[in-house]
């Protein structure tokens, strides 16, 4: 066998080590950029009830450039990502945002357990948890990574805004997802919550989940704002009215305050930093567009 020099061997090893990076960079260069105006595209996504790709609705203002905010918007119960995207167009034009709205379709992410609860369980009341590899919190990371790659982001802050059912998914992502790289997370008008309480069974609390103190402390250190419409006080038809939900409050406003207060108390008992904020939006009820418009003024 022909001998090779030490230098040649080192060069070959460097080439092997750098190959994955080169492949990743090549893949990102092959992704199409998000065009100005309204649009949508399909993102490959293996999580969910099928291997079908996920549709991403977008709006890019003509003044957006790297350095200006990217807003990733999570829709409510109706799975109407296009409508939520449209609700952000005015703010996007005024402030130069890039808006990205992933569609968690009923076909791919069926029912409350798959979307609101992140597929931690197959159905409420299950003692048996699904494998963490099937939880859908990684989809959120996939969406943000896809946008970063398409737009070659280096300076833009990435902000998550979630309303109603989307806020249920995202607050559970804050508690249970470990790979969040968002610069800000706004959780607006969730109907009910997974309380950071190990004495209450999931999905109303953390009992049954193997969440460590370190993971909980990391959740409390994230840049979260709980945004509540001060008129979101109706016990509407779709509001959950179980004894466990009503123990959190009789409406979304009360439940949001209870969630924030419990998180704050838990962080204090643990002796860890608590970086969450709570804000009420005056004169607004359960209105995704109005909550989004107020959130846009915060950025």
User: Which pLDDT tens digit goes with each residue over 18-38?
Assistant: 433 333 333 444 689 999 999
> What does the mean pLDDT of the chain come to?
91
Report the C-alpha gap between 187 and 163 in whole angstroms: 6
Q: State the pLDDT at residue 244.
A: 97
Q: What's the pLDDT at 30?
A: 67
Whether the Cβ atoms of residue 217 and residue 208 lie closer than 8 Å to each other: no
- Please give the C-alpha separations between residue 82 and each of 78, 145, 288, in angstroms, as whole numbers: 11, 21, 13
d(CA 257, CA 289): 21
Helix (H) or strand (E) holding 258: helix 252-270
| pLDDT value for 31 | 83
**Contact (CB, 8 A) for 54 and 108:** yes
Residue pair 239/191 in contact by the 8 Å Cβ criterion = yes
Q: Residues of the chain whose pLDDT is less than 50?
A: 1-4, 6-29
Please give the DSSP secondary-structure letter assigned to residue 250.
S
Predicted pLDDT at 5: 54
Instruction: For 154-196, write each residue's pLDDT tens digit.
Output: 999 999 999 999 999 999 999 999 888 899 999 999 999 999 9
The rounded distance, in Å, linking the Cα atoms of 181 and 159 is 9
Q: Which residue has the tokens 């829709």?
A: 75
CA distance 119 to 133: 10
């Amino acid at each position: 066998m022909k001998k090779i020099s030490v230098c040649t061997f080192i060069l070959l090893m460097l080439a092997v080590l750098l190959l994955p990076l080169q492949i990743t960079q090549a893949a990102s260069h092959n992704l199409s950029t998000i065009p100005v105006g309204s649009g949508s595209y399909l993102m490959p996504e293996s999580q969910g009830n099928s291997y079908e790709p996920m549709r991403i609705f977008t709006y890019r203002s003509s003044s957006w450039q790297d350095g200006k905010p990217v807003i990733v918007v999570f829709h409510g119960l109706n799975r109407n990502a296009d409508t939520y995207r449209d609700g952000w167009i005015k703010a996007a034009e005024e402030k130069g945002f890039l808006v990205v709205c992933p569609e968690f379709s009923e076909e791919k992410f069926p029912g409350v357990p798959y979307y609101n609860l992140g597929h931690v369980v197959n159905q409420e009341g299950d003692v048996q948890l699904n494998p963490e590899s099937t939880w859908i919190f990684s989809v959120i990371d996939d969406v943000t990574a896809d946008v970063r790659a398409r737009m070659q982001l280096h300076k833009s802050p990435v902000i998550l805004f979630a309303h109603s059912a989307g806020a249920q998914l995202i607050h559970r992502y804050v508690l249970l997802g470990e790979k969040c790289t968002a610069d800000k997370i706004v959780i607006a008008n969730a109907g009910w919550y997974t309380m950071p309480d190990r004495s209450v069974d999931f999905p109303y609390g953390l009992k049954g989940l193997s969440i460590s103190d370190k993971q909980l402390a990391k959740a409390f250190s994230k840049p979260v704002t709980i945004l509540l419409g001060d008129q979101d006080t109706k016990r509407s038809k779709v509001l959950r009215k179980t004894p466990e939900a009503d123990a959190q409050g009789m409406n979304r406003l009360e439940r949001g305050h209870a969630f924030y207060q419990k998180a704050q108390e838990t962080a204090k008992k643990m002796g860890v930093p608590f970086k969450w904020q709570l804000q009420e939006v005056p004169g607004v009820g359960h209105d995704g567009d109005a909550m989004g418009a107020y959130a846009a003024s915060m950025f």
